[in-house]
Structures are given as C-alpha cells and as structure tokens.
Amino acid sequence: MGKNDWKKELEQVFGFFKMMGTGSGNGFGIAPDFGTYIIITTAKNHDTIVESLHVKELLRRVKSLKIYEMMPMKSHGLWNGRNPFEHNSVTHIPENDYPQLSVITRGSIKRSLWWKFWKFVPKVARQIPSEALYSVGMGELPLVEQATFSVWKSEEDMRRWAYQNKAHRNVIALTHSLKWYEEELFARFRCREIQ
C-alpha cells in the first residue's frame, strides 16, 4: 500500500489526519529534520490511534514518542477548506486534567510571498522562551504549507510571548498587511502529555 493510500485510510478512520515533517535546528529551520515527524488527528482517544495497523507500523520504527491529548478551546480559520477543531470545541475543560495549553497555527503561504515569509522566521524562532515546554515548525509541503505546534505552562506565558515579543508582533502585523496566507488557522487547546 502506498503512502497516500494509508493516509487516506487513516483520514476515513479519524476524520482528520495529518502527518508532517519538521524543520531542522530548533525545529523551525528551512531545511527538514528527517528524524522528527508530527501526526495530528481528531481521533476521540489515543487508543484508537495506536491500535491502527498503519500507526503500529510507524511506532515500530520510532526511537522516541510524545503523545499529547488535546481538548479544543477555540479555533478559527481553515485547514484545507475546513476547520477540523471547531465542531469539537468543549465549553468546560477541567484544568487539573489538562494542565497545559497548546497552540496550532497553520498557514498556506502564497507561492509569490514564501521568500518574504521565510526571511522573518529565524529571528522569531531564536526568541522562543523557556516557558514553551515544546515547540516545533512543521509542514505538509516544504516552504509553503506550514504550521507550528507549541505547548505552554499557561495561557499567560503563551500570550506574553505572542503579544509582547517584538519580532513576533511584527510578523503578526506583516501577516495582516501583506496577506501572505491563502488560508490560515489558529487553534488553542487544553492539553496533557500522555506518553
């Protein structure tokens, strides 16, 4: 079975399934890191994921694994024409059960502007603070189909970095003025690391 066949099959099982490569260096380099991959799915529980025959095959090949269970708090925008997290948003999430905050940002960069976008990535990536428990740049298609995933101790830590960090604020302003995304999504979750 080819790579795309099993991806389509997993999408049918999970509803939403993305397997993406990551960036080199601190996770945000323009060159790929061939040793780190991210899977994002809307499966109802992690047992459903790890019991999949295709995922079992992947798990046999990995040296280390992190699994985060995430409960959507807020999500706006689109990923391939739909918002996979919007209909799953939960109004009350027990913070004791899900003590951390995670964020997924995703953008489909206009082909004519990718070089401008990537000019700003290194400066922002160098300033990711220690409050970010985990952060990585990931993508479906190098240079243009990009996303980020980050895990934070608290919403306050995430907001402080996102909105008080000058380099990041400048990129947010450029995003609005240059309109370099054909499509974008921002989703916030309560989360916990379960493996």
Closest C-alpha to 192, from 153, 164, 136: 153
- 3-state class of 10 per DSSP? helix
For residues 152 and 100, the answer to whether their CB atoms sit within 8 Å is: yes
Residue-range domains of the chain with CATH: 3-193 (3.30.70.100)
For residues 101 and 152, the answer to whether their CB atoms sit within 8 Å is: yes
Name 137's Cβ contacts closer than 8 Å, sequence gap at least 6.
Answer: 22, 23, 27, 28, 29, 121, 125, 146, 147, 148
CA 105/CA 163 separation, integer angstroms: 15
Per residue of the chain (195 residues), give pLDDT as tens: 455 676 777 777 777 888 899 988 877 888 889 888 898 988 876 777 767 766 777 777 777 888 898 989 999 999 999 999 986 666 677 778 899 999 999 999 888 888 888 787 777 777 776 778 998 989 988 778 899 899 999 999 988 888 887 777 787 787 778 788 899 999 999 999 987
